[in-house]
Amino acid sequence: MPKDSGIGASSKRREDVRFLTGAGNYTDDINIHGQAYVHFLRSDVAHGRIVSLDTSAAAAMPGVVRIFTGADFEGVGGLPCGWQVTDRHGQPMAEPGHPVLAQGKVRHVGDPIAAVVAESPEQARDAAEAIEAEIEELPAVIDMKAALAEGAAKVHDDLPSNLCYDWGFVEENKGAVDAAFAEAAHVTTLELVNNRLVANPMEPRVAIGDYARATGESTLYTTSQNPHVIRLLMGAFVLGIPEHKLRVVAPDVGGGFGSKIFHYAEEAFCTFAAKALARPVKWTSSRSEAFMSDAHGRDHVSKIELALDADNNFTALRTETYANMGAYLSTFAPSVPTWLHGTLMAGNYKTPLIYVNVKAVFTNTVPVDAYRGAGRPEATYQLERVIDKAARELGVDPIALRRQNFVTEFPYQTPVAVVYDTGDYNATMDKLEEIADIAGFAARRAESEARGKLRGLGVNCYIEACGIAPSNLVGQLGARAGLYDAATVRVNATGSISVMVGAHSHGQGHETAFPQVVAEMLGIDESMIEIVHGDSSKIPFGMGTYGSRSLAVCGSAMVRATEKIINKAKKIAAHLMEASEADIELKDGQFSVAGTDKSVAWGDVTLAAYVPHNYPLEDIEPGLEETAFYDPSNFTYPAGAYACEVEVDPETGKVTVERFSAADDFGNIVNPMIVSGQVHGGLGQGIGQALLENCAYDPETGQLLSASYMDYAMPRADDVPFYAVDHSCATPCTHNPLGVKGCGEAGAIGSPPSVVNAVIDALQSGGKAVTHIDMPMSPSRVWSAMQG
């Protein structure tokens, strides 16, 4: 019987009412009296030297308040990078400066050169067009391998080359891995591209800077997944504003998918300009601007090799990846191809020896950073594609080959540092075979073939490391921030509760799911609990939402804070009932004395805390408000098995996804409806990556070819089927209080390989000797592959 409230209930989302009635409050919906508007003049060349910048004519245009250039930001900090990777030789990565407005050079199409603040957005744009910018165009480096070649133009003149770092993991294992390959009975090799993507939350970014002269306080309203991170980075590293004079508000945010984690130049600019001009300054990105200023995702070029013994056991794995950083290091960019990627190369398998090499490269393209899954999709894609290719080469069933090599005993120490606490990969594979009706595939294929279509089935597993992250561990790995989270539970006098959380909800449904947890713990109604998030002046210092961490980390903080509330409330209840604290039980919102019929209601205790007339003031303070910070002791490891069935039109190469099934182990589930929704969304993005989405640059000029929705193919409703998703196979996380693992990224991590595996299966069933097609598998690419 499904629950109707508390943990495990599919409570309907309370936030929906405002979103369904047009009553949401997104950043662009905010207008502050007297605000001016900024338009950024952006580079239209990929690489160039700013010879001169004449703003005099533009400054005289109607409505112009002031024009800023890079010169105005001399002495102001650049945009910081939050993660330092150490290379194979123990040296720190190359870390170039990242000015708010370009200084000296422009390094990608879209790099901001100047900012015009005017009375209206159109006036700002009119004036931006009147700026006379003489830019000497330089050769652009776009292709990563070409960027590393001798004599290549340098993105950053002050660095020795375009190499950011050459990372080896685990460097000490390299020799043993190479030896295992020498002894292998079979080696499967695959070269592949993990296509560059644009996150494309439907809400473009917006920033509004405001400044109060009377108090000296700056406020930034921004489309962010983590207001406190922005406050820290922008206040401490860019603008030098102490925390108590800087407030960052992320109100309703229309999706993020990673792209709204990072601290962007426009945020710093609006905050800076608001103070300089003593008036609010607003920037609203157009979608076209978003394509050239939001951090992009993925963009890896890899070679992966899998060694097997004569019994088809995986004996070693070796990968070499070129990872595009773009022109500057975005906030968490260096961590994505390394610690979020190399540590997941073991996948669900007990491969004993693994070596991962990653060369991160600067190019004249938009910076690349985390996008839904961040590093883990790239690892999963390589691994699950090479396993599939191995199965085909060996003539064995791809599911059987996976099962044979599954990790089955936990905890499991991988050869790539991380320790899986729990899991049951055979269980999710069993469930997948059931919900995907794999037994019925042959009949469906026959039916497709009768219609002249090729049908393929692709399967893959995935594992991810979520609940980011143990601070002491990530500190050793180069993180420049802690990755705990925080929650304050404020019980009001009449028993209602406000919970202030560091996590930010921009589609995840925290406002509904988090109260379910507190309600369950206290035995009170969910409607008595409200979640407050997104305003650094209201919430404790938590690190925000990304890496499928909100419930596992912030939710755990909320549990700890609620436990403190319960402990204190029991003391108060014990006093009220003149009983021993040890005998107090809390059930269904009633405190009772064990073994008696004495009880007091939740509301009586909370009232006593705030009206402490009959209260143990000598022992405990009045009030009922507790804060907890939670720093996880390990990552969480959601895992699962996915299956995709496609039809390929052999005449056109058009691929249609006919069925998609996902069996996930997310540990315990708080709101199954929301969890399913998260998986659906991830699948949509993963299918998009596999079949449609491609952020492409002209390899010579560095012009962005997919610069709008006219050329960047977003998945639409008719590109995807209904999905079959299941999360009943639950091995609860062993180290957080809720036993939860996180579900936000799984769909995007787990789905691309099965789509590709399915297309290869379909083509081979049609007698085509195709072993790989790079994503996106557009009709043109599939057709070309079929031509041989």
Site for other proteins in 161-220 (CB under 8 A): 200-204
**Nearest distance in Å: CB 525, other proteins:** 19
In the complex with other proteins, the residue whose CB is nearer, 22 or 151, is 22
Site for other proteins in 388-427 (CB under 8 A): none
**Nearest distance in Å: CB 322, other proteins:** 21
- C-alpha–C-alpha distance, residues 225 and 692, integer Å: 26
**Nearest distance in Å: CB 199, other proteins:** 8
In the complex with other proteins, the residue whose CB is nearer, 39 or 318, is 39
**Nearest distance in Å: CB 719, other proteins:** 8
DSSP element (H, E) containing 657 = strand 655-665
- C-alpha–C-alpha distance, residues 505 and 317, integer Å: 38
- C-alpha–C-alpha distance, residues 98 and 76, integer Å: 11
Site for other proteins in 234-293 (CB under 8 A): 252-255, 257, 286-288
Cα angle for residues 357, 696, 679 (degrees, 5° grid)? 70
Site for other proteins in 734-763 (CB under 8 A): 747
Stretch that binds other proteins, among 81-89, 352-360, 485-493, 674-682 (CB under 8 A): 674-682
In the complex with other proteins, the residue whose CB is nearer, 582 or 710, is 710
Site for other proteins in 288-347 (CB under 8 A): 288
In the complex with other proteins, the residue whose CB is nearer, 577 or 675, is 675
- C-alpha–C-alpha distance, residues 31 and 275, integer Å: 17
Q: Helices (DSSP H) in 479-619: which residue ranges?
A: 510-522, 556-576, 602-610
- C-alpha–C-alpha distance, residues 372 and 326, integer Å: 18
Contact 460, 757 (CB under 8 A): yes
In the complex with other proteins, the residue whose CB is nearer, 287 or 480, is 287
In the complex with other proteins, the residue whose CB is nearer, 189 or 728, is 728
- C-alpha–C-alpha distance, residues 519 and 60, integer Å: 60
- C-alpha–C-alpha distance, residues 203 and 399, integer Å: 40
In the complex with other proteins, the residue whose CB is nearer, 16 or 132, is 16
Which of 315, 324, 676, 757 is in the footprint of other proteins by CB under 8 A?
Answer: 676
Q: Which pair of structure tokens corresponds to residue 42? A: 């952006």
Which of 3, 12, 49, 145 is in the footprint of other proteins by CB under 8 A?
Answer: 12
Give me the residue label for tokens 């594609």. Answer: 385
Stretch that binds other proteins, among 28-36, 313-321, 620-628, 633-641 (CB under 8 A): 28-36
Site for other proteins in 495-524 (CB under 8 A): 506-509
In the complex with other proteins, the residue whose CB is nearer, 612 or 779, is 779
The DSSP 8-state label assigned to residue 336 in this structure reads T
Site for other proteins in 542-561 (CB under 8 A): none
Stretch that binds other proteins, among 20-28, 227-235, 480-488, 515-523 (CB under 8 A): 20-28
In the complex with other proteins, the residue whose CB is nearer, 214 or 717, is 717
Which of 1, 4, 21, 74 is in the footprint of other proteins by CB under 8 A?
Answer: 21
Question: Does 784 interact with other proteins (rule: CB under 8 A)?
Answer: yes
Question: Does 527 interact with other proteins (rule: CB under 8 A)?
Answer: no
By rule CB under 8 A, what string of x and - marks binding of each residue 619-658 to other proteins?
A: --------------------------------xxxx----
**Nearest distance in Å: CB 723, other proteins:** 6
Phi, then psi, of 530 in degrees rounded to 5? -125, 140
DSSP secondary structure string for all residues of 22-71: T---BGGG---TT-EEEEEEE-SSSSEEEEEEE-HHHHTSTTEEEEEEGG
Site for other proteins in 679-738 (CB under 8 A): 680-685, 687, 692, 694, 696, 705-706, 708-720, 722-725, 727
Bridge partner list, 52: 134
DSSP secondary structure string for all residues of 722-765: -EEEE-------SSSTT-B---SSHHHHHHHHHHHHHHHHHHHH
Burial of 782 (0-12, 13-18, 19+ CB in 10 A): buried
- C-alpha–C-alpha distance, residues 524 and 518, integer Å: 8
In the complex with other proteins, the residue whose CB is nearer, 125 or 350, is 125
CA distances (Å), 425 to each of 67, 162, 678, in order? 58, 41, 21
**Nearest distance in Å: CB 363, other proteins:** 19
Site for other proteins in 77-136 (CB under 8 A): 122, 125-126, 129
Stretch that binds other proteins, among 135-143, 262-270, 362-370, 778-786 (CB under 8 A): 778-786
In the complex with other proteins, the residue whose CB is nearer, 632 or 688, is 688
Stretch that binds other proteins, among 17-25, 233-241, 329-337, 545-553 (CB under 8 A): 17-25
Q: Compute how many other C-beta atoms are within 10 angstroms of the C-beta atom of residue 709.
A: 12
In the complex with other proteins, the residue whose CB is nearer, 57 or 396, is 57
Q: How many residues form the binding site for other proteins (CB under 8 A)?
A: 84
Burial of 264 (0-12, 13-18, 19+ CB in 10 A): buried
- C-alpha–C-alpha distance, residues 43 and 106, integer Å: 7
**Nearest distance in Å: CB 262, other proteins:** 18
In the complex with other proteins, the residue whose CB is nearer, 407 or 646, is 646
Question: Does 3 interact with other proteins (rule: CB under 8 A)?
Answer: no
Phi, then psi, of 646 in degrees rounded to 5? -120, 160
- C-alpha–C-alpha distance, residues 315 and 309, integer Å: 6
**Nearest distance in Å: CB 443, other proteins:** 20
Which of 22, 160, 242, 395 is in the footprint of other proteins by CB under 8 A?
Answer: 22
In the complex with other proteins, the residue whose CB is nearer, 123 or 363, is 123
Q: Which residues contact 371 (CB under 8 A, 6 or more apart)?
A: 197, 199, 257, 258, 259, 295, 296, 297, 298
Q: Compute how many other C-beta atoms are within 10 angstroms of the C-beta atom of residue 475.
A: 14
In the complex with other proteins, the residue whose CB is nearer, 567 or 708, is 708
